Amino acid sequence: MVIPIKDERDNLETLHERLHRALDPLGREYEIVFVDDGSVDGSFAVLEELAAKDGRVKVVGLRRNFGQTPALQAGIDWSSGEVIVTMDGDLQNDPADIPRLLAELDKGYDAVLGLRKKRQDGFLLRKLPSRAGNWLIRKVTGSPFKDMGCTLRAMRRELAESLPLYGELHRFIPVLAQQCGGRLTQIDVAHHPRTAGKTKYNLSRSVRVVLDLITVTFLHGYVTRPMHVFGLAGLASMGAGLLSLLATVWMKAHSGIFMTGNPLLLLSALLELVGVQFISLGLIGELLTRTYHESQGKNPYLVRTTLNLEPLSQRKAA
């Protein structure tokens, strides 16, 4: 279990109890990794008490509030299970749904996502922006999942570790997992109203979703070939500049309009300069891409499995 929390003091003991009630009957080994993302309400003191009386409770205390995505990454890094289940610490997710997630995962999926069928949140400030954001993400990325923001999900460790989690990309975990080649499904889960603590959600997140969506789309489609996007934009701009110049010459020849007084001449010069800048950005992007992959030994691909092959690290060492 990986649970990022921020100022959830009044929910932690109840959550701890419900987690044991849901997980103990499974007969599996498990740990509960709480990541305290810079709480200031005394949440860490409660976590200390839980860790003192329960050895399965692990606590990672961050130095300050870094955000949900870094906190989630910290939880994945410090966890040890082969299956990672994530959820919020506000008691809106129901631990009783975890056995169903794990049973579905055992059918061969790499991740099982939660779908809040009857979401217990305000319509104008929470549900409406969420529905609009989910619709936009599905249209842009082609992902079929209806609820991108449900944090209750189960993932195999190899998939969780391959997710590029930084910034605020936790909202796009279903998309990122799909882009990594994961086999995903989604099932209905319960959702409860918040009874203690304050929500960290505000409408500014809706704007940031659009910006993050642009980032995810670019990184998935063009991170290894930035010239394709910047070069195409540059060629289009230079082509438009050429058409503007030809229109200026045609107007001079047929209408007697002086080229120096024609705004299309200035537009053609501007478009040519913009085109050169786009192509230059593409070249710089290509250099950065090669530096990124070659300096860190990163491959531009992900391998699901191999047959009759030793791990690549052992082959290189030999």
Instruction: Give the per-residue pLDDT at 207.
Output: 72
Q: How crowded is the C-beta side of 172, counted as CA atoms within 13 Å? A: 30
pLDDT at 296: 67
Task: Look at residue 289 in the predicted model and tell me its pLDDT.
Answer: 79
26 DSSP assignment:
G
Question: CA-CA distances (angstroms) from residue 92 to 195, 204, 300?
Answer: 9, 21, 38
Give CA–CA dist 60/31, Å, rounded.
13
> Which of 205-224 are b and which e, b meaning 16 or more Cβ less than 10 Å from the residue's Cβ?
bbeebeebbeebeeebebee
The total number of residues shown for the chain amounts to 318
Return per-residue pLDDT of the chain as tens, 318 residues: 999 999 999 999 999 999 999 999 999 999 999 999 999 999 999 999 999 999 999 999 998 988 888 899 999 999 999 999 999 999 999 999 999 999 999 999 999 999 988 887 766 666 777 788 888 888 888 889 988 889 999 999 999 998 888 777 888 899 999 988 899 999 999 988 888 767 666 556 667 777 788 888 887 777 778 898 899 999 999 999 999 999 999 998 888 888 888 899 999 999 999 999 999 999 998 888 778 767 766 666 566 655 545 665 665 555
Residue 30, Cβ neighbours under 10 Å: how many?
15
What's the token pair of residue 295?
């300096």
The pLDDT of residue 308 is: 46
Is 95 within 8 Å of 21 (Cβ atoms)?
yes
In which residue are the tokens 């047929």 written? Answer: 254
